[in-house]
Amino acid sequence: MENIEYNSVVKHFLKNDKVVFSLLKRFGEEKLSNRKNYFKHLCTSIVGQQLSVKSAAAINKRFLEYFDNKLQPEKIAQTETEVFRSLGLSGAKSKYVKDLSQKIVDKTISLDGISKKSNSEIIKELTKVKGIGPWTVDMFLIFTLGRPNILASGDLGIKKAIMLNYDLKKLPTDKNVIRLSKKMNWSPFNSYVMLYLWKSLDEG
């Protein structure tokens, strides 16, 4: 089945940014999709904060297996911090997944119908949780809700990929990333640029 959005992405970057277009041609089609089980994806995003992809995957594997791949807020809220530590989570991340779980249990936040909310509404809702900041929300918007126009300007991997692909002498700042996005007209497909920039790091 033809991916109409992806075809639009290809045409957009052929016109606007030859660097991104070359990544599209090199790596082929990438898709964004709205995944279910929002709670599970938020938990695994918290676990993966500031870790390499490999380390995050290893810890998340143990984390999910411990709960039989069925993450429930009530159960996690009641689990002792020492259990999370034994699975490889830091003390801080143990508190964060418990805080997320408890806030869902006591209805401080709700994930019901979150896919119908705007980006700003989702940021406002999720950042009520300890340990969930702009980066974690960006990951949720891109990888879980499949929003096409999210610029993860604070992501270290994105900064490294920009430095390498655009032949910069040093890592760009968050503001530099925002400026580049505007200059090269990445909108309304910022999320696709993020996917391909991350992909380019896998070759290194």
Per-residue model confidence (pLDDT) at position 142? 96
pLDDT at 50: 84
In the annotation, is 138 catalytic?
A: no
Single-letter residue type at 51 = L
- Cα torsion at 65, 68, 69, 71 (round to 10°)? -110
Q: Which CATH number fits domain 7-32+151-201: 1.10.1670.40, 3.30.470.10, 3.30.70.100, 3.40.50.2000?
A: 1.10.1670.40
Average model confidence (pLDDT) across the chain: 94
Numbered ranges of CATH 1.10.1670.40 in the chain: 7-32+151-201
Query: Which residue's entry shows tokens 């998340």?
Result: 60
The Cα 46–Cα 131 span in angstroms is 7
For the domain with range 38-144, which CATH number is right: 1.10.1490.10, 1.10.340.30, 1.10.40.50, 3.40.50.300? 1.10.340.30
- For residue 191, the model assigns a pLDDT of 98
Q: What is the DSSP string of 91-106?
A: HHHHHHHHHHHHHHHT
- Residue 51: predicted pLDDT: 85
**Tokens standing for residue 150:** 């999210």
| pLDDT tens-digit series, residues 117-175 | 999 999 999 999 999 999 999 999 999 999 999 999 999 999 999 999 999 999 999 99
Residue 112, pLDDT score: 92
Q: What is the pLDDT of residue 52?
A: 80
Query: In which residue ranges of the chain is CATH 1.10.340.30 found?
Result: 38-144
Query: Which two structure tokens, joined as six digits, stand for 200?
Result: 């380019």
Question: Which parts of the chain register pLDDT below 50?
Answer: 1
pLDDT of residue 36: 87
**Exactly one of 17, 99, 138, 155 is catalytic; which is it?**
155
Q: Euclidean distance between the first and final Cα of the chain, in Å?
A: 32
